[in-house]
Structure 1
Amino acid sequence: MKNYLIISPEDNVAVALEDLKPGDSITFPDGSFSLKELVPVKHKFALNDFNINDRIIMYGVPVGKVLKPIAKGELITTENIKHEAATYAFQNKEYQTPKVDISDLKERSFLGYHRSDGQVGTANYWIFIPMVFCQNRNLKVLREAFEAELGYKKENPYKLQLKKLVSGESAEVFVEDVEKASEKVFENIDGIKFLTHEGGCGGTRADAEALVNLLAGYIKNPNVAGATVMSLGCQHAQISMIQEALTKDINLEKPVLYFEQQQFSSEKEMLMSAVNKTYKELSEVNKITRKPAPLSKLTLGLECGGSDGFSGITANPLIGLVSDKINALGGKSILSEFPELCGVEQDLIDRSPNRDIADKFIHLMESYNKKAHEVGSGFDMNPSPGNIKDGLITDAIKSAGAATKGGRSAIADVLDYAEYATEQGLNLLCTPGNDVESTTGLAGSGANMILFSTGLGTPTGNPVCPVIKIASNSMLPAKMKDIIDFDAGKLVSEGISQEELSNQLIELIIEIASGKKQTCADKLGQDDFIPWKRGVSL
């Protein structure tokens, strides 16, 4: 097995698949050369000599410009190259999605919750939503009551650990010591979720509108059976706005309860009313049971976070192949994180069905990047210190690998943040690269399952949407086994084919979508929810 990888025939740098030492021979069919210096695993080295202003090519596209001469066999670093991306424009090209093998998947199904609007949930949640941050305390009070009395409260082992320390006992906590949650009152309801946030008032009207559309998206999400909405009354984000937003995109027939505090004589009166009416609706929602559904009813959110130099080689292309297969079956996928599409715009434009869709993508990308520059940032500043340490040293390198999560399907639609996905196929969703703001947006746009690649490790989850964490390297699941669901690093470490791993990943998706297995994030209770305000957040 080779100790390096050239991703595309046009590339003029290669990726180290293991730590390479000075003097190690790099052999090609037409010759060889020796490395000039240490090249850590996941990092890149030059395949030819470079002069100042030469372009670095990876994935067949420009990803950097040379700042000082680089000799063949030298390490590519932030000191000798900087970010550069290719220009782009609509070219009116016809695009044909490459065929993928779905012969074994056409008759497959998962056990899901069928909604009257035609969507199918992979889970069955009731959600509590505040229209404004000053209802967060009321949600906290209600959460304590509902979780404890309905059997959803998880015992905190660290509370028991402290109790033992205070009493002078051994601080070690065993599984049998931890008090188990009581039996669930509602067998067919997977949980009651409380989506607190810091918005709804005090910002711009545009902020309030974006928040309302996002919250409406969560109510529309097929994994949600119904909602209790809490409002103060005088804030920007009015109940009437969310009621209007719920009339768009789908024919919603879910129970939604509204409580406005300024219409009640006391907080206690409002909360007691909320408890009574919500409990009644929960009894009805509990009658919904899992039934078989085709894989075409899956909507996959495509996300990455804590990326490393293998993310764009193993986990992301694997997610892309799974996305292509679900789309070929008639399902949907949603590719997020616009700062991490910088440098691959032309490819995505060329896959767009018409000028209107392409122009919307261009407009969203350029206006977002412009706002970033106005506050002294830009897409070129997207890579984190962890990314850079692991070989993703320019945004274009990071983007070229991140975009592979979208596979090779044609673009069906382009969505602004909090727009709901209705078109079959691959959708592009404008979100930040920030993990939680992005996954929050994916669920708000209708994803009923999120595939999340990581090379460095992240516990990110979502309140209503299962998040499957996919490792880009085989070291990560051994080191952080409580947060990783699937090892895509086996492409390199064990030589398992991408096709075989895609079949294994789809099997895991079916198990989780059917409620037969929990994601690591769900086991940890990782209910991350952060709405994106339309300021700059990369």
Structure 2
Amino acid sequence: MPARVLKVHPADNVIVALRNLSAGERIEFDTIIYDLPYAVEAKHKFVTEDRQPGDPIIMYGVLVGKATRPIRRGEPITTFNLKHDADRYGLDRKQPYLWQPPDVSAWQERTFMGYHRADGSVGTRNYWLVVPLVFCENRNILVLKHAFERELGYAQPETYRDQVHELVSLFKAGDMNHIKKMQPFVDESQNQTLDHTNHQSNRPFKHIDGIKFLTHEMGCGGTRQDSQYLGSLLAGFINNPNVAGATVLSLGCQHLQADMIGKEIKRQNPKFNKPLLLFEQQAGTEYALMSQAVKETFLGLVEVNKLERQPAPLSALTIGLKCGGSDGFSGISANPTLGHLSDIIVTLGGKTVLAEFPELNGVEQELINRTDDTAKAQKFIDLMGGYSASAEAVGSGFDMNPSPGNIKDGLITDAIKSAGAAKKGGTAPVADVLDYAEPAITPGLSLLCTPGNDVEATTGMAGSGTNVILFTTGLGTPTGNPVCPVVKISTNTTLKNRMPDVIDFDSGPIIDGEQSIAQNADALLEYIIRLASGNEITQAERLGQDDFIPWKRGVSL
């Protein structure tokens, strides 16, 4: 029979309910009996001992909050009896850290089929990128998108347009009664194969996975700092291993000038050697601009279509680690699965990137201990401290990070959420610490300063060079990325069954006692190899979920 409760860490004074527990139930864990005065919903926690106001609550072995009123043994923690708190951190508290790498002999000789770039990186996709330097060019970007996607076979199916067409036909015929009595349209999405080979049959460019068109609201009118960060981010996207070449549209008078993007690309990657096409609207008419962009982009596509997938070691992967729509199972199932997988990739010589600094609140000291380089540890401290201070300066703070959905599903304080979120980073030493839009070039685990906001974080990771992003979720979120496949990993099987058109992989068998974390991670890595080789596409790719939101360096949690 699957376990009903779990204590995550021996030092914890809370126990997690894996199933709904009723008021008055007697729960046994480790030969100790707990009488529950109130019902405890699955994903929530009850205390193992009486707590008085100010007493600490420990989970994942760290301080996650303090009692605000008496809490009886067996009583659940809630927003009414617990407030966020976390331990202090600093270099003066740094402790020695020893790491035992996992056995990776089973993966040592494994490869994936990727696109080898001239700079030595390897892509899991072969995309052409079309981007504006300023929001004034968004319309032109969308015009190009409509023209290229339709003619080259990359447009999304017009499922909902067909539904509207049917309704319009009935309306024109005066058949309102038919419309009102119609049954809901049948969902055919799950009958569509995720093997995109069939969808490529009408494409003239067989070795190009897509043309990706970005729009944004930046580039001018804001702070110069925002424009500079946008330039670094766009340069990172163009440098991303999944991108084969790029078309860039400029108005001409904006803060982010065309020559700035070229310099930033070379600064980030001195070995840059991809087709880069720059067009400026104020040099002539819109028609001339667009016609030239169409022609030169098409010729660029002809060239990059000559690239074909070739074997590459798993060490060529750069994997982003992200969670969103988290629940009380995130830190128990899916996030530890990512952590174990991260340790495997790091041991093989690959790169993993852990983002979302507001969701590292409370586990800073552990990460500092894992950072051998003192300067990098100090950089982490400075980035965390600066980010936190900027939030507090406008009346917010990391303690306000959990969303209503997080709280409803068991993440009562930011420290609880963060301690579980940090499990995505495994146990490997921290090899590097990156500010937003800095490229991930050091093998091993890197910490990347981004908000917890799903799209701002995934945008930042792709801008730092990830070629696959693993995204755990307990509540379900459709977030995707234009250039980087985003794999949705459910923390529980109920979610997988409820949202099969969003979820790619299920870590629910861990909760159900059917798989260990290591077994789930092995199955996920097998999936990633197929994905990176082009034999799978994610649900977000199938849906055309190409989310792109640059982080303005104001406050965003």
The structure 1 residue matched to 2:275, chosen from 248, 255, 272, is 255
SS of the residue corresponding to residue 166 of structure 1 reads helix
- After superposition, give the CA deviation of every residue in 1:40-95 in whole Å (9 maximum; x if it has no partner): 00001010000110000000000001100101010100000100000011145442
1:141-220 mapped onto 2 (5 Å cutoff) = 141-168=143-170, 172=185, 183-220=202-239
1:391 and 1:523, CA in 2 relative to 1: closer, same or farther beyond 3 A? same
Matching of residue 245 in structure 1 with residue 264 in structure 2: yes
Task: Identify the residue that residue 285 of structure 1 maps to in structure 2.
Answer: 304
Runs of 4+ in structure 1 deviating by more than 3 angstroms, as ranges, are 28-31, 91-94, 169-176
- Find the aligned partners of 2:235 and 2:99 in 1 and give their Cα distance: 32
CA deviation after TM superposition for structure 1 residue 98, in Å? 2.1
CA deviation after TM superposition for structure 1 residue 181, in Å? 8.6
- Find the aligned partners of 1:413 and 1:205 in 2 and give their Cα distance: 27
Contact 1:51 1:70 in 2 (8 A): yes
Q: Unpaired segments of 5 or more residues in structure 2?
A: 171-177, 193-198
TM-score (norm 2): 0.94
SS of the residue corresponding to residue 160 of structure 1 reads helix
RMSD of the alignment, in Å?
A: 1.7
Contact 2:200 2:206 in 1 (8 A): no
- Find the aligned partners of 2:372 and 2:257 in 1 and give their Cα distance: 37
Task: Identify the residue that residue 35 of structure 1 maps to in structure 2.
Answer: 36
Q: Which amino acid aligns with 1:82?
A: K
Task: Identify the residue that residue 232 of structure 1 maps to in structure 2.
Answer: 251
The structure 2 residue matched to 1:124, chosen from 104, 121, 126, is 126
Contact 2:129 2:213 in 1 (8 A): yes
1:322 and 1:406, CA in 2 relative to 1: closer, same or farther beyond 3 A? same
Contact 1:319 1:407 in 2 (8 A): yes
- After superposition, give the CA deviation of every residue in 1:193-235 in whole Å (9 maximum; x if it has no partner): 0010000000111000000000000000000000000001111
- Find the aligned partners of 2:266 and 2:238 in 1 and give their Cα distance: 11
SS of the residue corresponding to residue 418 of structure 1 reads coil
CA deviation after TM superposition for structure 1 residue 110, in Å? 0.3
Contact 2:439 2:464 in 1 (8 A): yes
- Find the aligned partners of 1:339 and 1:448 in 2 and give their Cα distance: 23
Q: Which amino acid aligns with 2:100?
A: P
CA deviation after TM superposition for structure 1 residue 175, in Å? 5.9
The size of the alignment, in residue pairs, is: 537
Percent identity between matched residues is 57
Q: Which amino acid aligns with 1:326?
A: I
1:511 and 1:375, CA in 2 relative to 1: closer, same or farther beyond 3 A? same
TM-score (norm 1): 0.97
Contact 1:311 1:401 in 2 (8 A): yes
Q: Unpaired segments of 5 or more residues in structure 1?
A: none
- Find the aligned partners of 2:485 and 2:200 in 1 and give their Cα distance: 21
The structure 2 residue matched to 1:370, chosen from 365, 389, 394, is 389
CA deviation after TM superposition for structure 1 residue 32, in Å? 1.5
- Find the aligned partners of 1:30 and 1:486 in 2 and give their Cα distance: 35
SS of the residue corresponding to residue 254 of structure 1 reads coil
Task: Identify the residue that residue 320 of structure 1 maps to in structure 2.
Answer: 339
Q: Quick check: 18-27 or 312-321, which moved more?
A: 18-27
- Find the aligned partners of 1:81 and 1:154 in 2 and give their Cα distance: 47
Task: Identify the residue that residue 240 of structure 2 maps to in structure 1.
Answer: 221
Task: Identify the residue that residue 475 of structure 1 maps to in structure 2.
Answer: 494
1:270-349 mapped onto 2 (5 Å cutoff) = 270-349=289-368
Q: Which amino acid aligns with 2:453?
A: N
SS of the residue corresponding to residue 312 of structure 2 reads strand
- Find the aligned partners of 1:74 and 1:501 in 2 and give their Cα distance: 32
- Find the aligned partners of 2:535 and 2:440 in 1 and give their Cα distance: 27
Contact 2:134 2:217 in 1 (8 A): yes
CA deviation after TM superposition for structure 1 residue 295, in Å? 0.2
Q: Which amino acid aligns with 1:21?
A: S
- Find the aligned partners of 2:32 and 2:285 in 1 and give their Cα distance: 82
The structure 1 residue matched to 2:423, chosen from 395, 400, 404, is 404
CA deviation after TM superposition for structure 1 residue 23, in Å? 2.0
